[in-house]
Amino acid sequence: MQVLTVLNDMLGTMGESPLASLEEPHEFKGAGLSKLDQESRLCQARGWWFNMETITLQPMVNGRIALSGDTISVRTGDSTITQRGRYLYDLKNGTDIFTQSVTVVLIRLIPFEDLPESIAGYIAAKAIMYFQNLYDADSTKMRELKEQAARARADANQEDIRNKKANLILSNPNLMRLKMLTNQARRYIRS
């Protein structure tokens, strides 16, 4: 999905003519691009199959562990290690100096035009909806845009689940215990 397409959809909700390029001037262009960027950051910060990666980070010569510029957030699995600015920080010892590597899950910000189509569609739908609400607030349009955003969110979540190969039974300890007991009962009945 192209940024220009989303911007033109935003302008279209207000009855404005589409732009031929992003270089073309328009009084609402800056606000539209800003809203799209904001929604992209908020949506991607959740962490999806395409922007999460587990990586082991090594301390630099000065002992600090730097994070790449496209890092939105870090999940360390250790509540005493967090992100501060562009570095990891040890809350327990009150320092940003590390002597050992740290394995983290990085959530990266992917440029809008490089996103999977379902995610770009979800972000676009939300950005258009919020943009329309700020500048026009037509209740009929807003209802339609909310419905589009809800459908786009469902599509994005379905694709995320498919790609993560999420299994609700395997990820739920109570359901796993029930499955194990059921399998044991079946084996007992057969014997």
pLDDT, residue 65, reads 97
Give whole-number Cα distances, 105 to 12, 89, 120, 161, 183, in Å: 39, 15, 22, 18, 35
Q: pLDDT by residue for the chain (191 residues), tens digit each? A: 999 999 999 999 989 999 999 999 999 999 999 999 999 999 999 999 999 999 999 999 999 999 999 999 999 888 999 999 999 999 999 999 999 999 999 999 999 999 999 999 999 999 999 999 888 878 889 899 999 999 999 999 999 988 887 666 655 667 666 777 787 788 788 87
CA distance 180 to 174: 10
3-state per-residue secondary structure call for the chain: CCHHHHHHHHHHCCCCCCCCCCCCCCCCHHHHHHHHHHHHHHHHHCCCCCCEEEEEECCCCCCCCECCCCEEEEECCCCCEEEECCEEEECCCCECCCCCCEEEEEEECCCHHHCCHHHHHHHHHHHHHHHHHHHCCCHHHHHHHHHHHHHHHHHHHHHHHHHHCCCCCCCCHHHHHHHHHHHHHHHHHHC
Q: What was the pLDDT predicted at 159?
A: 93
The predicted structure's pLDDT at residue 139: 87
pTM of the model: 0.80
pLDDT at 183: 76
pLDDT of residue 83: 95
For residue 186, the model assigns a pLDDT of: 82
